[in-house]
Structure 1
Amino acid sequence: MNHVLHGLAANPSLPPELIDRLITVADPDLSSELAARTDLTPAQLATLATRGDEIAVQLAYEGRLTADDIDPAVRPYAALALLDEGAGRQEWTRLLAAHRTTHVREKLAACPDLPPDVVRTLAADADIQVVAELALWTTPDTAARLARHPHAEVRRAAAANDSTPPPVLDMLITGEGLPPAQRCLVCDREVTPFVHERSCPRPQCELPAGAACDGSHQSTVHEIQRMALLNPATPIDAAVSFADHPSMLLRSALAARSDLPPSVGAQLAKDPIPGVRADLAENPAIDDTLIRTLAADRGHDVQRRLAHNPNVPLDVLADLARATRIGSTLLPRIAAASPQETAQLAASRNPVVRMLVAQRRDLPAAIRDTLAADPDAKVAKSVAPHPGLSEAHLRAMVARHGVQVVAAVAANPSASSTLLEEATRHQPPVRKVFRKVARHPHAPAPALLACLTDRHARPLAAAHPNLPPADIAQLLTDNDDLVAEAAASNPSLAPAVMAELTP
């Protein structure tokens, strides 16, 4: 791989004549890089589409190729991409439904608005994975028919399809009203009874860990039930019976449902597995009583997941901030706080609560500036990237908290070039500063040259348009291929140098 040519292919300043030269010599990898450009002519796009299926598919999904550009017999995957986007031709579907490659038929089965005769053809396909893919994406009527398929893998796919009618999902999850499945992927391939080892030594084996069949297709039946529990169209009356099921995976799937009744939620709150209780804690459907119960749960990840519940009361959230490590993230409940609630959070005596509200990037100026002057470093660090902070506020934060906030200050979109240059000279140095500065649009040349001294920031600085052209040219021969590629992609690279590099 020629990293410099790959960098040139992504360079937004590459002249049109040099694009043509690169297209002429491009291998599939370089062609894929060129295909990502937004300034290509129709002729250039058509040429790149001939370089491989992946490139043609990429261009088709981006809407840069049309049905007139594609021959489905030559580029079946590009034709499938257009069909998937609703931009293909219906007559292609019959050709592709008879394609000798299973993967083509499988991809076709996932496409929308297939003609009825093509659906019938795919439903009768000799490869069960094609039929299963159809069951996963098809219309309610066909999903209902395929739910009765003798192969359990097809039923598993129908259970995951949210277009499958609720009464059919009820039958799939309970097994009542359906004839027993006759086959599954396990007994298709192995002599039963069989349990697949979790560390299977066979390199070509495709069965999932724990796959098992003793004639009852038990592992696939379990997956049918799990898919149905995860499917919002499954009637809750059929789902609630799994609250005391021996399988933790099934109880977890039930705990996450948006239509969970309070009584079942209360039962799951006593589940012996913390993971089930954690899934329940993050569920927006649980009520205030259950939220307050789970707030006292010290099980692994329960309180942290509860803090991410969009309906957690603010007083509970304040208690959670004291009880567990939430991290520097914008929580859904904080993001949805009213102006009055935001002011109350910003005035909290708990610095962790102030840190959480400081993660918002739409704070009123008065609250933003107050948090910027907070005596607690984690609060200041959290608000430091907030747009609109003045130079004076940013400098005061660095003066007050030093190494604890300087990288966050360097990430502020309003940070001046002078402040960014000073950040790279901060003593003691903060390595993360160099990456923040190297990404900043205001970074001046002296600051970028300083960033080149850091291994992680060096490729970022090499691609920055404010780096002097002479320094960019020197980096084209850097020992680190990523740095050389980044330099070649730099829009400030001199056109004469681009021409010299292009074959």
Structure 2
Amino acid sequence: MERGLLATNAVDPVARLDIALALLAEGLGRPAWARVLATDSSVERREKLAACPNLPPDVREILAGDAEVQVVAELALWTTADMAARLAEHPHAEVRSAVAANEATPPEVLAALLSCERLPPARRCLVCDREETPFIHDPQCPRLDCELRPGASCAGSHESTTHEMHLKAVQNPATPPAAVIGFADHPSMLLRWQLAERPDLPPAIYTRLATSPEPGVRAALAANPAIDDNLIRVLSTDIGHDVKRSLAQNPNVPLDVLAQLAATTKVGSTLLPRIAAASIAEVWELAVSPTPALRMLLGERRDLPPEIRDALAADPGAKVAKSIAPHSGLSEAQLRAMVDLHGVRVVAAVAKNPDATSALLEDLTRHRPPVQKALREVARHRNATAAALLNCLPDRQARPIAASHPHLPPKVIVELLTDDDWQVLEAASANPSLPPAKMSELVTRCA
């Protein structure tokens, strides 16, 4: 079906309901099929139908009046703007919660779901459908047939479902900013966390969220590209490490702030968005930064001018050299100089260099003390020789990688077919350098 090999005229919707439903889910079915499925006895099928695109209006009407709330809620999650607006007044809170997540829901309806104005109060939720209120569901509920969500509660106002509805509405990009700003001081950490991720709020709201006591909220705020320079500088002094790490990922963090973060926070060996977006003038500025961590972050870029690449390759900082070592264009002499200067700290990164020569790779496998990660890199390197691969085989993690390398001698590949490690055996069996006779023997044995 996904390959377009099943024709719609070959399907009898009555006899092959599941196939008809699958085609409708892909937008390929016929309206008549949807009408059959809308009154099907299977709740599961009706629920899946409710998520299908482009349903005929009469089918949406049938599903909107379904006796099973999960069917109506699924429709509310995916339906059109006009139907979503109607379902926002549904007496069941679970349906309203689904409406809040639907990005087709009109903005004014989403605002009403948050304010509870202009809408009649919900009369039921999943909790009071099943339990006598007030009720709080035990997260460790021992009942095997219980379907309530952990922590679900209702004291007459459908509290847990209302909270979920608010969360979904705050996350929904169609919800107007004016409708969500009132949650900046809400006692719910989850609501403030979601609010901190929105890119369309007034600066004053972001400033209030920066005072949240939970590091998770402040970290979400720190990563938000919409916060201004003043707030970025405030958050750069936050004592939470997660906050600083998130701030380093912000694409608009000023370079001087990033330098401060790089010097005091472990941001990892990754290409940060601000480094990736740096102009050529900023790249030259970063290359001569007195902060080694900032030069290291620059080394993660793979489009550096040769002059800067070569300067970083000779950097006295091992972390800087490690970040630049995998760059293409470095000579064998430059790579060997890194190993001579920094030793085990850069051996694996040098082994990852796509231009590393066969001779260099062999020498790296004989490095003392040995570097296990380097053996794994050599084992997958296109320039690895038979001698280098043989040196990798004793390492448990490098062994299955080396077993698949086409430069491994055929005799050794055959020997690996009896290895105790199934990963090694599997890799050797698929090695293109396995002798044809052995390949035929394996095929015959598996037939």
State TM-score, norm by structure 2: 0.91
Which one of the candidate residues 141, 144, 156 is aligned to 2:82? Answer: 141
- Counterpart check, 1:381 vs 2:322: yes
1:88-124 CA-to-partner distances (Å, cap 9, x unmatched) read 5555434444454444333333232222233233323
Instruction: Tell me the SS of whatever aligns to 2:405.
Output: coil
- The one of the two structures with greater contact order (alpha-carbon pairs below 8 A, sep at least 6) is 1
The answer for the alignment partner of 1:247 in structure 2 is 188
Which one of the candidate residues 419, 441, 445 is aligned to 1:497? Answer: 441
Change in CA separation of 1:445 and 1:75 when aligned onto 2, cut-off 3 Å: farther
1:271-297 CA-to-partner distances (Å, cap 9, x unmatched) read 222221111111111111111111111
1:205-248 CA-to-partner distances (Å, cap 9, x unmatched) read 44332211112110110010011111111111110001111111
Instruction: Confirm or deny: 8 A CA contact 2:8 2:29 kept in the other structure.
Output: no
Which one of the candidate residues 179, 186, 189 is aligned to 1:238? Answer: 179
Bigger shift: residues 421-430 or 121-130: 121-130
Structure 2 gaps of 5+ residues are none
The answer for the alignment partner of 2:353 in structure 1 is 412
1:465-501 CA-to-partner distances (Å, cap 9, x unmatched) read 3333443343334322233233333344434234223
Instruction: Confirm or deny: 8 A CA contact 1:138 1:163 kept in the other structure.
Output: yes
Determine the C-alpha separation between the residues in 2 that align with 1:368 and 1:69: 61
1:32-69 CA-to-partner distances (Å, cap 9, x unmatched) read xxxxxxxxxxxxxxxxxxxxxxxxxxxx44x3644469
Instruction: Tell me the SS of whatever aligns to 1:277.
Output: helix
The answer for the alignment partner of 1:25 in structure 2 is none
Determine the C-alpha separation between the residues in 1 that align with 2:307 and 2:398: 34
The answer for the alignment partner of 2:101 in structure 1 is 160
Alpha-carbon deviation of 1:163?
1.2
Alpha-carbon deviation of 1:76?
5.8
1:435-491 CA-to-partner distances (Å, cap 9, x unmatched) read 222332333333333333222223322333333344334333432223323333334
Determine the C-alpha separation between the residues in 2 that align with 1:341 and 1:180: 57
1:276-325 CA-to-partner distances (Å, cap 9, x unmatched) read 11111111111111111111111341111111111111111111112222
* Residue identity matched to 1:466: H
* Percent of aligned pairs sharing the same letter: 63
Instruction: Tell me the SS of whatever aligns to 1:436.
Output: helix
Determine the C-alpha separation between the residues in 2 that align with 1:339 and 1:470: 52
State TM-score, norm by structure 1: 0.82
Q: 1:270-309 to 2 correspondence within 5 Å?
A: 270-309=211-250
* Residue identity matched to 1:497: E
The answer for the alignment partner of 2:253 in structure 1 is 312
Structure 1 gaps of 5+ residues are 1-59
The answer for the alignment partner of 1:5 in structure 2 is none
Instruction: Confirm or deny: 8 A CA contact 1:66 1:82 kept in the other structure.
Output: no
Instruction: Confirm or deny: 8 A CA contact 1:373 1:380 kept in the other structure.
Output: yes
1:149-191 CA-to-partner distances (Å, cap 9, x unmatched) read 2221221111111111100100111111111112222223333
Change in CA separation of 1:115 and 1:389 when aligned onto 2, cut-off 3 Å: farther
The answer for the alignment partner of 1:359 in structure 2 is 300
Q: 1:383-402 to 2 correspondence within 5 Å?
A: 383-402=324-343
The answer for the alignment partner of 1:336 in structure 2 is 277
- Runs of at least 4 residues of structure 1 off by over 6 A? 72-75
- Counterpart check, 1:260 vs 2:201: yes
Determine the C-alpha separation between the residues in 1 that align with 2:403 and 2:298: 35
Determine the C-alpha separation between the residues in 1 that align with 2:333 and 2:21: 56
Determine the C-alpha separation between the residues in 2 that align with 1:278 and 1:434: 37
Alpha-carbon deviation of 1:78?
6.0
Which one of the candidate residues 44, 47, 62 is aligned to 1:121? Answer: 62
The answer for the alignment partner of 2:389 in structure 1 is 448
Determine the C-alpha separation between the residues in 1 that align with 2:91 and 2:101: 17
The answer for the alignment partner of 1:188 in structure 2 is 129
Instruction: Confirm or deny: 8 A CA contact 2:309 2:324 kept in the other structure.
Output: yes
Instruction: Confirm or deny: 8 A CA contact 2:47 2:74 kept in the other structure.
Output: yes
Determine the C-alpha separation between the residues in 1 that align with 2:382 and 2:72: 51
* Residue identity matched to 2:80: T
* Residue identity matched to 1:351: P
- Counterpart check, 1:478 vs 2:419: yes
Instruction: Tell me the SS of whatever aligns to 1:321.
Output: helix
Alpha-carbon deviation of 1:249?
0.8
Instruction: Confirm or deny: 8 A CA contact 2:241 2:265 kept in the other structure.
Output: no
* Residue identity matched to 1:200: C
The answer for the alignment partner of 1:458 in structure 2 is 399
Determine the C-alpha separation between the residues in 2 that align with 1:80 and 1:351: 59
